[in-house]
Amino acid sequence: AEMARVLADSNHVPLHRLSLLVHSVSIMHKSLDSMPEDENWKALTRNSTNLRVYIMAFDVKSDDMLRILKPSIPLERIHFDSYITCVSGAVVDLISRQYDKFLTHFILMNDVIDMSGFPDLSDNRTEDPLVLLAWRCTRLSLLAVHGYTLWAHNLIAIARLRGSDLKVLEVTEESIDFDQGELADQ
């Protein structure tokens, strides 16, 4: 928060890019209470109107991400990488609602070794959060999903929604799953 206040000062040259690394180990040793609040982000973007933020999160719990992601962050790129925890559908949904104007890159990687299969972000909901992300975030040009279940019909929906604007759609083959009814039709 203090860094955001200093950078928001009009005496500073406006920022164009801010890269933030959030790691579970850092969160264990430091409180999230010093993270910038939405007012801090608003002040920073008033002086730096072209500011775009890149967040890389390693093994950060979804509850912690919900505390970090403030509506006024001009988030352009986000990269989740997990070895212990998994990102929730609620975090992906929040990102698609709050950052639809800026988000261009969304990378979701899970290296959790779980014999029961990959986590499914849709949580048995009718709307898959990744499909909603592709629908809401009209500037999305890169989507990479590794180690999470992505249903084949949702993969097709994502490709159709973004069309040729989606320059990179990268999904691990093992992440793609089919409904049993779909398999019978194939």
pTM for this predicted structure: 0.89
Q: What is the pLDDT of residue 155?
A: 93
Q: What is the pLDDT of residue 7?
A: 86
> What structural domains and CATH numbers belong to the chain?
14-177 (3.80.10.10)
Q: What is the pLDDT of residue 116?
A: 63
Q: What is the pLDDT of residue 170?
A: 96
The bridge status of strand 150-151 relative to strand 176-177 is: parallel
pLDDT < 50 positions in the chain: none
Q: How far apart are CA 41 and CA 134, in angstroms?
A: 25
Residue-wise burial string across 154-177, b where 16 or more C-beta atoms lie within 10 A, e elsewhere: bbebbeebbeeebeebebeeebeb
Query: Which tokens go with 125?
Result: 């909901």
Q: What is the pLDDT of residue 11?
A: 82
